[in-house]
Amino acid sequence: MKTSDFSFDLPEELIAQHPSEDRAASRLLYLNPNNGMIEEGHFYDVINYLKEGDVLVLNETKVLAARVYGRRSTGARVEFLFLEDLGGGYWSVLVKPGRKARVGDEFFLSDRLSLEIVDILEDGLRKVKLFYEGIFEEILDEIGTMPLPPYIHEKLEENQRYQTVYARVAGSSAAPTAGLHFTPELLKGLEDKGVKIAKLSLNVGLGTFRPVKEEDPRNHIMHEESYFLDEANARLIREAKRVVAVGTTSVRTLESIYRDKGELVACSGRTDIFIYPGFEFQMVDVLITNFHLSQSTLVMLVSAFAGREQVLRAYQYAIDNKFRFFSFGDAMIIGDLDV
Whole-angstrom Cα distance, residue 210 to residue 327? 15
Q: Which of 99-108, 186-195, 256-265, 281-290 has the lowest mean pLDDT?
A: 99-108
107 alpha carbon, distance to own chain's centre: 30
Cβ 229 vs Cβ 200: under 8 Å: yes
Q: Give yes or no for residue 339 having a pLDDT over 60.
A: no
Domain ranges of the chain: 3-63+157-334, 67-143
**Nearest in space to 328 (alpha carbons), one of 185, 188, 174, 186:** 174
Q: Give the per-residue pLDDT at 80.
A: 95
DSSP state letters, 289-327: EE---TT-HHHHHHHHHH-HHHHHHHHHHHHHTT--BST
10 Å Cβ neighbour count for 223? Answer: 17
Q: What is the pLDDT of residues 29-38, one digit of tens each?
A: 999 999 999 9
Cβ 322 vs Cβ 314: under 8 Å: no
Domain topology for 3-63+157-334: QueA-like (3.40.1780)
Residue 261 banded pLDDT, cuts 50, 70, 90: very high
Cβ 206 vs Cβ 98: under 8 Å: no
Superfamily in which the 67-143 domain is placed by CATH = QueA-like (2.40.10.240)
What's the chain's average pLDDT? 95
Q: What is the pLDDT of residues 201-242, one digit of tens each?
A: 999 987 777 889 999 999 999 988 999 999 999 999 999 999
Q: Give the per-residue pLDDT at 245.
A: 99
Q: Which of 39-48, 93-102, 317-326 has the lowest mean pLDDT?
A: 93-102
pTM of the model: 0.93
